[in-house]
Structure 1
Amino acid sequence: MSTGITVVGLGSGDPDQLTLGIWKVLQGAGRIYVRTQEHPVMNRIAAEGIAFDSFDSVYEDNESFGDVYETIARRLVELAADEPIVYAVPGHPMVAEKTVLLLREYAEQSGVALKVLGGESFLDQAFVRLGFDPIEGFQLLDSSGVTAELIRPSLHTLIGQVYDSLTASEVKLGLMEVYPDDHPVVVGHALGVEGEEQILRVPLYELDRLEGYGNLSLVYVPRSDDEALRAGSFARLHEIVGILRSPGGCPWDIEQTHASIRKNLIEETYEVLETIDDDDPDHMREELGDLLLQILLHSRMEEEVGTFTVYDVIRGLNEKLIFRHPHVFGDTAAGSTEEALKNWDAMKAEEKKLRGENAPEASLLDGVPRDLPALMKAYKIQKKAAKAGFDWDNIEDVFAKIEEELGELRQGLAEGADADALKLELGDLLFSAVNASRFLDADPEEALSLVNDKFRRRFRYIERKLRERGSSPQGSTLAEMDALWNEAKTTE
């Protein structure tokens, strides 16, 4: 058992803010190590004749802050094996001090006794000097982790460890994902340190143009109830849908059920597909929003009866994505699309096993949605059957099957078969054509959509040319229209 480590906080910067208890520890310590000598209190300690060693050289010997903190923590554990030591850090040891978190872990593993004493953190001075009460809602972010997912405008936000202009630039870019470029922010340097404190209020775009960033710098963004800032959050969307469905909300929204808006979900999906086909990002953004609204409405209906919420939907999706991508989030490899799909299918099968769905009567064709368009459904059914080995050997066999089905359709028509029988023969022909699409690695739904668009373009060409002649399709012969059809082909 070693003699132990005592960790003390040097406060936010001003020597007068150093606690009496910690001052006594420093005066009576046999060996003192400090993370950095770049702290205002260190001048007072040196002036009092208190000896110490700093780890500033470790910063020069390592390429990243992570390596610096690891090195310091492990070295402290080694040093404590010979004698009791005091480790002093800026601010409070448990506020934005990675070395202490690592030290707690390594000390326990090595059987080193560890004692942590507090100290004034930069938060204390921030509350006083910037003049806000954290009980109104407050979050503390590290400068390296300022992302749209973490930023909440309704909370007072402090961003610590803004060491230099480069770090300030990263903070600025992160904040600009949520706030407008000219949103007012506050930069604080050496808060509470007499003669060194600076508090600057600037528009966001100027954040990295300021000078004076260092170890005692932070950025503060006051809380705001501006609706424009909340408009980009998923929480606000969930809130709006809840208001629409609540008493006093929109009468139409309140009356809707899963069944009544089922068709809306289908329509909005097709409208999204249309924007994809048109390569129209502006309309795609709008239509994706309309589709998302349908998901929120259906989820809200279930939330009202207590079955699940939209956040349960999101949680389930997150878990599924991680589980089905072991080659990304686990230790399974996938060097190609085929291997990735194989992993996906394997994990889907594992999910079914975990849910107890591997009943003897289960079919390999299970999982194909009942209400898919028939062409798409045929494609998915065939792919599932092919994975089980029930498939043609090559595309020539498929072509032979298409010719066979075409012959049966002709025969049925010649023999006067009834409408239902002819419909089945036509279905067989279409089903065989879908088989050909698989062998050509061409999605049949996409292929038919392309042909639909091509037909529409050519027919509109016919209509336009006929209007120029003072005519119309209804007033023209098939030969005239066919000639224009061939003409339209040459213009593509």
Structure 2
Amino acid sequence: MNTIHIIGLGAGDLDQLPLGVYKKLKKTERLYVRTADHPVLTELAQEGLVYNSFDEIYEKHDEFAPVYQEIADTLLQLSEEGPVVYAVPGHPLVAEQTVQHLIQAEKAGKCQLLIEGGSSFLDSIFGALRIDPIDGFQLVDGTIMERDRLNMDQHILIAQIYDTFSASEAKLTLMEKYPDDYPVTIVTAAGSAQEKLQTVPLHELDHAAEIDNLTTVYVPPTADQQERLKEWQTFRSVIAKLRSPEGCPWDREQTHESLRPYLLEEAHELLQAIEEQDDDAIAEELGDVLLQIFLHAQIGQDNGYFQLEDVLESISAKMIRRHPHVFSDVEVDGSDEVVSNWQAIKAQEKPAADSLLEGQERFSSSLTTSYNYQKKAAKVGFTWSDAEGAWEKFEEELQEFRNELANGSKEDQLDELGDLLFTLVNIARFYDLSPEQAMVQANRKFRSRFGFVEKKVEEGTGNFSDYTLEQLDEFWNKAKLLARKGE
């Protein structure tokens, strides 16, 4: 089988290289190195060591991923002609993507690997920074670093920071969570005679004088919770604190039932912010809605029934299950087929209901419940063929309501009013209009215009009783006119 012998060159200079590794390098005939830019190779070249580097491959690609893949593929081809020795910086199994590609090839039976030598740069980094990894640390690849995977209360070491561009990319990712002036330390050639540490504000990371393939960026853990406000875990701990015995008496008293009106209120405030296209308000109101979700999750955890992880597992599994065209090999032709598949999968998940209307009630909104009922009934053909039938029914119900107002009891009047509103909801359904949203907008419009009337009264006598209905109606019409002009 094709053999590739992988040797780690360590993180320092020749003095730190194990004697056995030194001897192997000196006697090998087919030596390839990922990069010649390493102090060990510089010194060995002066002793006459001959090797081939893959530095030219870096020049062919704009990203690192294809570089590493091409190096691995080239080594596999070379191994077909005989054993190959491949030297990499540090330890072969620490932050070395080319080796990981070769390991996958070995698992597929394409080669046999021998791996040895080379201390990783981690020991030298910990020593240079005087930190204990037992406190918790993350080692991340700067070329594929993701904001959501960074834990701000741990030591973070960012490898693969080769140049100003990679430093800039890392900086931009970090600035999505950390303050612009957060101190970060640039560690160069840790453990060698050229070791250098430079601490700079985060926004200056890509302006440092020395950044090369021996550079590691260190981000210290945040000491203050106020600096971790962009982390999910921080928000969760805030809610847990509020619900704790040492927390807030009001928050401790809340239940799923007592929080219902607040969730409704926050949802409507979010809808208003969306309607007004106010991005700042949308962000704020989303936070208020999120507060309600976390409170309910914390109550579930306090009561021992469920916790936030169960909520996340449930919704994540549902999204994956109901989007087979995204997470599986199902193909769809447009959003209509997506909706159709969604409904079919949903039907399979839930046991057959006794009624088509089961589960359509919305205790918070009779309008929405009515809309849902009629939409479900319409799907099985229980509806007029067009809106004209709904309009005729509306006229019928309007006349019946008027009749009851003239002669009927309060109970009968209430019953006919319900029929009339139900028919209005049906008309809204035919025109694909949300009756709930229509009422939200109507209420908002009334409040705004009546506020203008109040302002005019306040500017006048300050007393509504001093004005006739015609005068007040004039203020109202003025408010309508101004609204149409966008003033």
> Normalising by structure 2, what TM-score?
0.90
State the 1:198 CA deviation: 2.6
Structure 2 Cα separation of the partners of residues 98 and 467 of structure 1: 73
Structure 1 Cα separation of the partners of residues 63 and 235 of structure 2: 40
Structure 2 Cα separation of the partners of residues 20 and 321 of structure 1: 56
Contact 2:222 2:228 survives alignment (8 Å): no
Could you tell me which residue of structure 2 aligns to residue 33 of structure 1?
32
Could you tell me which residue of structure 1 aligns to residue 164 of structure 2?
165
| Aligned residue runs from structure 1 range 78-477, under 5 A | 78-194=77-193, 196-333=194-331, 336-352=334-350, 357=351, 359=352, 361-414=353-406, 416-470=407-461, 472-477=463-468
Q: Which amino acid aligns with 2:410?
A: A
SS of match in other structure, 2:190: coil
SS of match in other structure, 1:61: coil
State the 1:475 CA deviation: 4.5
Return 279-288 or 371-380, whichever deviates more: 279-288
Return 71-80 or 83-92, whichever deviates more: 71-80
SS of match in other structure, 1:7: strand
State the 1:56 CA deviation: 2.3
Q: 1:261 to 1:61 in 2, by over 3 A?
A: closer
Contact 2:32 2:84 survives alignment (8 Å): yes
Q: Which amino acid aligns with 1:206?
A: E
Q: Which amino acid aligns with 2:319?
A: L
Q: 1:224 to 1:464 in 2, by over 3 A?
A: closer
Contact 2:361 2:372 survives alignment (8 Å): no
State the 1:417 CA deviation: 2.8
Contact 2:91 2:120 survives alignment (8 Å): yes
Q: 1:323 to 1:463 in 2, by over 3 A?
A: same
Q: Deviations over 1:73-92 (max 9, x none)?
A: 22222322331221111111
Q: Deviations over 1:177-233 (max 9, x none)?
A: 222111111112222332x43321111111111232221111111223222222332
State the 1:168 CA deviation: 1.0
SS of match in other structure, 1:144: coil
SS of match in other structure, 2:257: coil
Q: 1:84 to 1:407 in 2, by over 3 A?
A: same
SS of match in other structure, 2:264: helix
Is 1:76 the counterpart of 2:68? The answer is no
Structure 2 Cα separation of the partners of residues 22 and 363 of structure 1: 76
Q: CA RMSD in A?
A: 2.6
Identify unmatched segments of 5+ residues in structure 1.
none
State the 1:106 CA deviation: 1.0
SS of match in other structure, 2:339: helix
Contact 2:2 2:110 survives alignment (8 Å): no
Structure 2 Cα separation of the partners of residues 362 and 69 of structure 1: 59
Q: Which amino acid aligns with 2:147?
A: A
Contact 2:3 2:84 survives alignment (8 Å): yes
Identical residues among aligned pairs (%): 45
Contact 1:242 1:300 survives alignment (8 Å): yes
State the 1:286 CA deviation: 4.2
Identify unmatched segments of 5+ residues in structure 2.
none
Q: 1:100 to 1:350 in 2, by over 3 A?
A: farther
Contact 1:462 1:481 survives alignment (8 Å): yes
Structure 1 Cα separation of the partners of residues 384 and 267 of structure 2: 33
Contact 2:264 2:364 survives alignment (8 Å): no
Q: Deviations over 1:23-80 (max 9, x none)?
A: 2322343422211222222123333333322222322334432222222222222322
State the 1:335 CA deviation: 6.0
State the 1:272 CA deviation: 3.6
> Normalising by structure 1, what TM-score?
0.89
Q: 1:463 to 1:181 in 2, by over 3 A?
A: closer
State the 1:285 CA deviation: 4.1
SS of match in other structure, 1:157: strand
Q: 1:55 to 1:286 in 2, by over 3 A?
A: closer
Structure 2 Cα separation of the partners of residues 84 and 277 of structure 1: 68
Q: Which amino acid aligns with 2:411?
A: D
